[in-house]
Amino acid sequence: MFYNRERELEKLEEVYSFPSSSFLVIYGRRRVGKTALVREILRIKPGVYFFVGKKMKRCSLKSIRTK
């Protein structure tokens, strides 16, 4: 279930409604529902979710440096 995140969902919908492309970083303490929040908005809106775990970090940084 998804409770008490109306304000955050409204902010995400506001950013989503911008006429141009946007990049949004969501950060915070562990286990507070950041991923659930993103998945909830993507359940109703099209978008891209890109997760970088600890194992992927080195690979991602390497690919950025080579461009």
Is residue 1 in a domain? no
Q: How confident is the model at residue 44 (pLDDT cuts 50, 70, 90)?
A: confident
Q: Is the pLDDT of residue 39 over 80?
A: yes
User: Can you give the residue range of the structural domain that contains 27?
Assistant: 6-65
Start-to-end CA span in the chain (Å) = 41
Residue closest to 10 by CA, chosen among 47, 45, 60, 35: 45
Q: What's the token pair of residue 53?
A: 């775990």
pTM over 0.75: no
Residue 35 lies in a domain: yes
Number of domains in the chain: 1
Looking at the domain assignment, is residue 36 inside a domain? Answer: yes
Contacts of 2 (CB under 8 A, 6+ apart): 36, 40
For residue 66, the model assigns a pLDDT of 40
Kindly state whether residue 48 falls inside one of the protein's structural domains. yes
User: Considering only CA atoms, which of 3, 10, 4, 1 is closest in space to residue 41?
Assistant: 10
